[in-house]
Structure 1
Amino acid sequence: MSSAVQKRANAFASLDEAKLGWFHMRAVLVSGVGFFADAYDIFVIGLVLPMIYRYYPHMDALVKAATSWGNLVGQLGFGYLGDKLGRKKMYGVELIIMIVCTIGQCFSANAIRGFGVLTILGIWRFFLGVGIGGDYPMSAVITSEFANVRYRGMMLSAVFAMQGVGILCGGLVTLAALAAFQDQISRDYTYLDYVWRIALGCGVLPAIGAIYFRLTIPETPRYTVDVIGDAEKAESDVEKVLAMNNVRNITSNWKAPEENSAPERRVHVKKNDAGNFSDYFGQWKNFKILLGTAYCWFALDIAWYGLSLNQSVVLGLINYGGKGDPNQYEVFRHKAIGNVIIACLGTVPGYWVTVATIERIGRKPIQIVGFAVITVCLAVLAARWDTISLQETNFLIVFTIAQFFFNFGPNTTTFVYPGEVFPTRWRSTGHGISAAAGKVGAILGVQAVGPYFTTNAKIVLWTFAVIMATGVPATYFLLPETKGKTLEELSGEDEVIIEEDTYKV
């Protein structure tokens, strides 16, 4: 009986204690390229919609929120299927959806009779959102389950940090497209039609580059043994992974409770079903963690998406780049430059400071401090709105600090936490539920709160500040520190069911 469990223990010990190597880097790069494309596609819309509205009617909240509605569906659907069918079978499918829909949205046009261009664009972006949403649980879980203990948080946050690069590149590509049509736009603003289509379409390039590697990544050994129940296959897969890293297998110090208690049997873990899910999360100690990951992501995304997708609107409110410039090229150029400056000084550094410090500081302190600093920044902007909105430099300083602590804070850690705290058989589902809760917050931030930016920015900022403040106690009371612990320690999976008997590994 002990042999199968010994193989499981050896396989997991090999993964947990392996040195950082090529396979780890490949997993981070393959997952990270997807997140680069995700962020590019999500946030470039905030730059191009003002261009579209020069000659098409406004449908601002609907088009911006369409991707988040799709995210919600994709996160729940792919989260469930990642546990039901396996990580390998689903990984890459979401990227194919993204590629098709990114290309499709570039050709959105008015029908002679029927939907207008913005409705068509919104439909494409909904399905694009399904693919992007599926990327969240799949990339997080695959990275987490292949990672070693020492660098797991760093690897997960590095994957997510590619969002910052995607946001920055969205601004740079928009600037380049504007520059290419500068003379034409100055004479005829309808040439903006080329700019927004090019800016949206360039998001397909990184996704195409990553598709082969996603479709060929192996199944994670943790899923193979704990859900499928094949310890021998898992051990074989680990050996292949370690061979890519040029390291040897590590033997676990696990010992069987009784040397000759029974003949060898296959490791057996109950299959996914609603009863098991209800039993596991029906216990408060497990449900409170799901509640913590879901609520913190929900609260975060209300403000994160409410601000990030309306960044061009915010820059317009403070008259960044001048007021009433009749040259359409200069108007949109200034907005793109403002977005790039904020990304360079706040957004991108915040992500990578998290990557550099998460294994030293820990997830919990980063998330708590992040929520607290964001609360203070938004409260300052709200309280001083009447004066600071007229002080371009002062506003940008405070706003950029907030953007830094969004990413050196809960925007990154809310992604990392769900990839670590749930058991293998529910890890993808748990991450999908948590991420979907975030997208409910994003929809509220964009559709319910965001539209009031132009009429009552002070109230919007106060609303965001209060919601951010609730993330501090939610993190403190509901979430554990995961630094330095194995996935099995965090989820209680060291108890392995072998047919009718349970042993401590």
Structure 2
Amino acid sequence: MLYRMLDAVTSVKCETRRARKQIKVLQALDVAGTQLYHFTTIVIAGMGFFTDAYDLFSVSLISDLLGRIYYNSADGKLPSDVAGAVSGVALCGTLLGQLFFGWLGDRMGRKRIYGVTLKLMVVCSLASGLSFHYKPRSVVATLCFFRFWLGFGVGGDYPLSATIMSEYANKRTRGAFIAAVFAMQGLGNLAAGAVVLALSARFKNTAAYETDPFGQADYVWRIVLMLGAVPALLTYYWRMKMPETARYTALIAKNLKLAASDMAAVLDIDIVPEKEEADAIVRQDDYGLFSMDFVRRHGRQLLSTTVCWFVLDIVFYSLNLFMKDIFSDIGWFGDASKMSPLEQTYKIARTQAIVVVSGCLPGYFLTVLFVDRIGRVKIQLMGFTMMTIFMIGLAGSYKVWYNPSMHAGFAVMYALILFFANFGPNSTTFILPTEIFPTRLRSTCNGISAAGGKCGAIVGVLWFQYSHTSTRCSLLLLAGCNLVGIIFTLALPETKGMSLEDITGEMEEENEPPQESATVAEAEFIHSVEIS
């Protein structure tokens, strides 16, 4: 008989553990109840996105007026080079603004330059409507110049607003707060359509329009663009009153006392920082964006957020900026050459408003409701998947939609694509980059990810403007972009319910295992003795 006697079994697993040092002011922010200041911040930051959407999407509604007034186009279509410039120049400015202001937000502070972007938006919105000259190309050149700098200011609002909201919010409802800021984009899009509708209806029913339709239409597009300055002006004072975020002040400026006093002034918390906390902040890692440490820890995440935003914006901006062209292709608006300038503009704005109300806004609001329950990654995967299905559905039976009796079905399918874009990657690509990167690089990485999105938007504009591919083929290519988004989404971490410092690995301390435990672990053995 063989018996095994266990002489000694010692199995000690001594792995180096990383524990996060608790900083009271940050912990207090994570667990703070929802207060009035949270909603105030949503409005202050969100009005920037309201202005952004109004300024970026309103140009697609008035481009037909430019074609009619300055290029004598019967159907309102601009020459391809002019149309590409008018649609794309603001996106180019936005891309550069996201990179520049994102970097500046980490170097100089979020609040310090928050007002600069708003000033740019106000001045350039007004100047865009004052693009006066007697030659058509001079008018368009002046318009494009000011829209470029308008886009530059709009771009700065992306990383700054996202970062500020994420750093103020508690971990339980952070996703909903950031999504609520971004949802103002939908309201801005709707406002653009509503303003164009109201102005078109007002001017086309006047006696002056009967005698000088092009002169009256010229007033409409200018007023539409200039009104973009109003929401930015309304929030300027409150932006200047906001304190710097506690996370920037504590972790980057390394001033815990100021961070605690700033938060005490706006939130119902009272924090007394300890010396050990200040020492822990001094000891934290300070690797840079171009270091191997960053590549190892966050390189794959930055690539994934950037690619997801890139392919999403190819789809999203193509569907929004060229909505009138896609609907015109199936005969939705009728024969544009038989309409007056403002009649055509009115029909385009009405269609956009219907699609925004039925598709875009419900998608934004459902994201606000469920992003902290379902999770960011699941919502993004669901959105990309459903967008792909409906796009293939539109493209697969494209000839069917030419039948006037099927136009309503086309509009429903189109609205569902935009619904799942907003209850999906259009919202989550904005949320994730502001949660998964460390505080000192948060604004920069959000800006890089957002700039990737604007590269996608520019690609979409150029594709629709110059490729001369059929709408059906374009829809299939957009569906392919969604499939790429699904693949790269799988590389992203879920962040719901977690502290920003836990997600990013900031403020972690290495605890070396005790020497005697390590020795025992190395000497682990099993000694067997055979007894007959």
Which residue of 381, 384, 403 corresponds with 1:368?
Answer: 381
Q: Which amino acid aligns with 2:227?
A: C
CA–CA distance in structure 1, aligned partners of residues 101 and 461 of structure 2: 24
Residue correspondence of structure 1 range 355-434 to structure 2 within 5 A:
355-390=368-403, 391-434=406-449
Aligned to 1:109: 132
CA–CA distance in structure 1, aligned partners of residues 503 and 241 of structure 2: 29
CA–CA distance in structure 2, aligned partners of residues 7 and 189 of structure 1: 68
Question: In structure 2, do the counterparts of structure 1 residues 374 and 187 end up closer, same or farther at CA, with 3 Å as the change threshold?
Answer: farther
CA–CA distance in structure 2, aligned partners of residues 107 and 272 of structure 1: 47
Which residue of 197, 202, 213 corresponds with 1:175?
Answer: 197
Does the 8 Å CA contact 1:186/1:327 hold for their aligned counterparts? no
Question: In structure 2, do the counterparts of structure 1 residues 392 and 186 end up closer, same or farther at CA, with 3 Å as the change threshold?
Answer: farther
Per the TM alignment, residue 38 of structure 1 is displaced from its structure 2 partner at its CA by: 0.5
Moved more, 332-341 or 155-164: 332-341
Does the 8 Å CA contact 2:46/2:180 hold for their aligned counterparts? yes
Question: In structure 2, do the counterparts of structure 1 residues 8 and 84 end up closer, same or farther at CA, with 3 Å as the change threshold?
Answer: farther
Per the TM alignment, residue 483 of structure 1 is displaced from its structure 2 partner at its CA by: 0.3
Aligned to 1:296: 308
Aligned to 1:70: 93
Per the TM alignment, residue 149 of structure 1 is displaced from its structure 2 partner at its CA by: 0.6
CA–CA distance in structure 1, aligned partners of residues 292 and 34 of structure 2: 36
The reply to whether residue 319 of structure 1 matches residue 326 of structure 2 is no
Which residue of 427, 438, 441 corresponds with 2:453?
Answer: 438
Q: Secondary structure at the match of 2:281?
A: coil
CA–CA distance in structure 2, aligned partners of residues 153 and 286 of structure 1: 20
Does the 8 Å CA contact 2:21/2:509 hold for their aligned counterparts? no
TM-score (norm 1): 0.89
Does the 8 Å CA contact 2:20/2:507 hold for their aligned counterparts? no
Which residue of 201, 218, 221 corresponds with 2:243?
Answer: 218
Aligned to 2:320: 308
Which residue of 435, 439, 462 corresponds with 2:476?
Answer: 462
Q: Which amino acid aligns with 1:290?
A: L
The reply to whether residue 100 of structure 1 matches residue 123 of structure 2 is yes
CA–CA distance in structure 1, aligned partners of residues 272 and 171 of structure 2: 16
Aligned to 2:166: 144
Which residue of 294, 301, 307 corresponds with 1:281?
Answer: 294
CA–CA distance in structure 2, aligned partners of residues 394 and 137 of structure 1: 38
Question: In structure 2, do the counterparts of structure 1 residues 367 and 389 end up closer, same or farther at CA, with 3 Å as the change threshold?
Answer: farther
Q: Which amino acid aligns with 1:465?
A: A
Aligned to 1:201: 226
CA–CA distance in structure 2, aligned partners of residues 326 and 496 of structure 1: 70
Per the TM alignment, residue 473 of structure 1 is displaced from its structure 2 partner at its CA by: 1.4
CA–CA distance in structure 2, aligned partners of residues 485 and 265 of structure 1: 24
Aligned to 1:330: 343
Q: Which amino acid aligns with 1:99?
A: V
The reply to whether residue 448 of structure 1 matches residue 463 of structure 2 is yes
Q: Which amino acid aligns with 1:24?
A: H
Moved more, 183-192 or 195-204: 183-192
Does the 8 Å CA contact 1:79/1:138 hold for their aligned counterparts? yes
Unaligned runs of 5+ in 1: 258-263, 498-505
CA–CA distance in structure 1, aligned partners of residues 132 and 286 of structure 2: 44
Residue correspondence of structure 1 range 3-152 to structure 2 within 5 A:
9-57=23-71, 58=78, 59-110=82-133, 116-152=138-174
TM-score (norm 2): 0.85
Question: In structure 2, do the counterparts of structure 1 residues 111 and 73 end up closer, same or farther at CA, with 3 Å as the change threshold?
Answer: farther
Question: In structure 2, do the counterparts of structure 1 residues 389 and 271 end up closer, same or farther at CA, with 3 Å as the change threshold?
Answer: farther
The reply to whether residue 489 of structure 1 matches residue 502 of structure 2 is yes
Does the 8 Å CA contact 2:264/2:271 hold for their aligned counterparts? no
Does the 8 Å CA contact 1:310/1:450 hold for their aligned counterparts? no
Per the TM alignment, residue 276 of structure 1 is displaced from its structure 2 partner at its CA by: 5.6
Per the TM alignment, residue 65 of structure 1 is displaced from its structure 2 partner at its CA by: 0.6
Per the TM alignment, residue 449 of structure 1 is displaced from its structure 2 partner at its CA by: 3.5
Does the 8 Å CA contact 1:140/1:419 hold for their aligned counterparts? yes
Q: Which amino acid aligns with 1:430?
A: C
Aligned to 1:353: 366
CA–CA distance in structure 1, aligned partners of residues 293 and 344 of structure 2: 54
Per the TM alignment, residue 233 of structure 1 is displaced from its structure 2 partner at its CA by: 1.9
Per the TM alignment, residue 380 of structure 1 is displaced from its structure 2 partner at its CA by: 1.4
CA–CA distance in structure 2, aligned partners of residues 203 and 271 of structure 1: 43
Which residue of 474, 479, 482 corresponds with 2:492?
Answer: 479
Which residue of 258, 262, 270 corresponds with 1:237?
Answer: 262
Does the 8 Å CA contact 1:320/1:334 hold for their aligned counterparts? no
Moved more, 387-396 or 163-172: 387-396
Aligned to 1:341: 354
Per the TM alignment, residue 345 of structure 1 is displaced from its structure 2 partner at its CA by: 0.2
Per the TM alignment, residue 357 of structure 1 is displaced from its structure 2 partner at its CA by: 1.0
The reply to whether residue 189 of structure 1 matches residue 213 of structure 2 is yes
Q: Secondary structure at the match of 1:116?
A: helix
Question: In structure 2, do the counterparts of structure 1 residues 271 and 359 end up closer, same or farther at CA, with 3 Å as the change threshold?
Answer: closer
CA–CA distance in structure 2, aligned partners of residues 17 and 27 of structure 1: 17
Aligned to 1:260: none
Does the 8 Å CA contact 1:103/1:204 hold for their aligned counterparts? yes
Per the TM alignment, residue 186 of structure 1 is displaced from its structure 2 partner at its CA by: 5.0
Q: Secondary structure at the match of 1:319?
A: coil
CA–CA distance in structure 2, aligned partners of residues 277 and 234 of structure 1: 28
Higher Rg of the two aligned structures: 2
CA–CA distance in structure 2, aligned partners of residues 442 and 131 of structure 1: 17
Question: In structure 2, do the counterparts of structure 1 residues 326 and 230 end up closer, same or farther at CA, with 3 Å as the change threshold?
Answer: closer
Once the two structures are superposed, residues 153-208 of structure 1 have per-residue CA deviations (whole angstroms, 9 ceiling, x without a partner) of 00000000000000001001001111111134455431211111111111111000
CA–CA distance in structure 2, aligned partners of residues 343 and 496 of structure 1: 48
Per the TM alignment, residue 265 of structure 1 is displaced from its structure 2 partner at its CA by: 4.6
Once the two structures are superposed, residues 23-51 of structure 1 have per-residue CA deviations (whole angstroms, 9 ceiling, x without a partner) of 11111110011110110000011100011
Does the 8 Å CA contact 1:110/1:117 hold for their aligned counterparts? yes
Per the TM alignment, residue 267 of structure 1 is displaced from its structure 2 partner at its CA by: 3.4
Per the TM alignment, residue 272 of structure 1 is displaced from its structure 2 partner at its CA by: 7.1
Does the 8 Å CA contact 2:359/2:416 hold for their aligned counterparts? yes
CA–CA distance in structure 2, aligned partners of residues 61 and 201 of structure 1: 21
Does the 8 Å CA contact 1:8/1:225 hold for their aligned counterparts? no
Question: In structure 2, do the counterparts of structure 1 residues 204 and 318 end up closer, same or farther at CA, with 3 Å as the change threshold?
Answer: same
CA–CA distance in structure 1, aligned partners of residues 93 and 20 of structure 2: 43
Question: In structure 2, do the counterparts of structure 1 residues 228 and 255 end up closer, same or farther at CA, with 3 Å as the change threshold?
Answer: closer
Q: Which amino acid aligns with 1:303?
A: V
Question: In structure 2, do the counterparts of structure 1 residues 255 and 101 end up closer, same or farther at CA, with 3 Å as the change threshold?
Answer: closer
